[in-house]
Amino acid sequence: AGQFLMGNPEGTGRADEWPQRSIYLDAFQIDQVEVTNERYLAFVKDAGHRNPPNPFGTGNLQSAEGIEQLPVVQVTWYDAKSYCAWANKRLPTEAEWEKSARGVDGRPFPWGKDPATLKRANYEQEWDGEHTLYPVGTHPLGDSPFGVKDMAGNVREWVQDWYDPDYYKDMPDRNPKGPEKGIVRSIRGGSWHSPLGDIRAAARGRGGFALQTHGTGFR
C-alpha cells in the first residue's frame, strides 16, 4: 500500500504516459512470475477450457516437450480473465502492474536506470521456436524493487483496464481502475520481440479482446 509515481513527465516517453502522477494504491498482491504453460494447462484440463494454439509446432500444446516453465502465449484477454477466475484471482489493474514493475520512484526500468541488457530482459529477439521465450524468473538482474520478475520483455501481459490514451490526465489519485468503457484493453511489459522503448516500465500497449499472439501472456 502507498504512493508511487505513475506515468512519465511530459516530453519523456510517449504521450499516453503523460502526465506523471502520484497515485495511492491500497495493499494488493501480484504473482511473482508470468503464468506458465504448466499452470495454464492445469486450468485447461480442470475447467474444460479450450487449448491455446501451439506456437512451437504442430499438434496441441500438451504434446510439446520442455515448455512447461515458459510463459503461456496465444491467450486472449478473455482467456486470461477465465484463468484468473478459476484460480480465485484477477488481472492486475494498470496501476497495480506499473507499481509492481517500477516501485515508487518512477524509475524507467524495473531494475532502475541502468541500460537494458539481455542479462536483465528478453527483448529485441527473433522467433526461434521453443528457444525464443525464457523460463519464468530466468533474469533475476531484471527484478523489480518488490522482487517481481519479468516485468520487462519475455511476454507482454494483459491487464484489467480498458485502454484510453488520455486516461492519465483525469484518473483518480487513489486506486484507479481504468476507464469505465472502451474498445481495446491495455497490455503492459513488452515481449521478446519488442524494441527497447516498449520494455520500459511506463510503456503502454493495447489490444482487442480476441488478440492472440506469440508475444502476449499475463500474470
- In tens, the pLDDT along 143-155 reads 999 999 999 999 9
H helix runs in 13-155, sequence order: 37-47, 77-86, 94-102
Handedness of CA 132, 91, 104, 5 (dihedral sign): positive
Closest CA to 71 of 123, 135, 120: 135
The partner residues of 216 in beta bridges, in order of sequence, read: 156
Residue count of the chain, please give it. Answer: 219
Predicted TM-score (pTM) of the model is 0.97
Contacts with 126 (C-beta within 8 Å, 6 or more apart), sequence order: 132, 193
Closest CA to 123 of 89, 147, 155, 94: 155
Is a pLDDT exceeding 90 seen at residue 64? no
- In tens, the pLDDT along 67-113 reads 999 999 999 999 999 999 999 999 999 999 999 999 999 999 999 99
- In tens, the pLDDT along 145-199 reads 999 999 999 999 999 999 999 999 999 999 999 999 999 999 999 999 999 999 9
Q: Which residue type is seen at 106?
A: G
Containing 167, the helix (H) or strand (E) segment is helix 167-170
Instruction: Determine the pLDDT at residue 6.
Output: 98
Closest CA to 192 of 153, 145, 160: 153
Q: At what angle do helices 37-47 and 77-86 cross, to 10 degrees?
A: 80
Q: What's the chain's average pLDDT?
A: 97
Instruction: Determine the pLDDT at residue 58.
Output: 83
Distance between CA atoms of 95 and 103, rounded to whole angstroms? 11
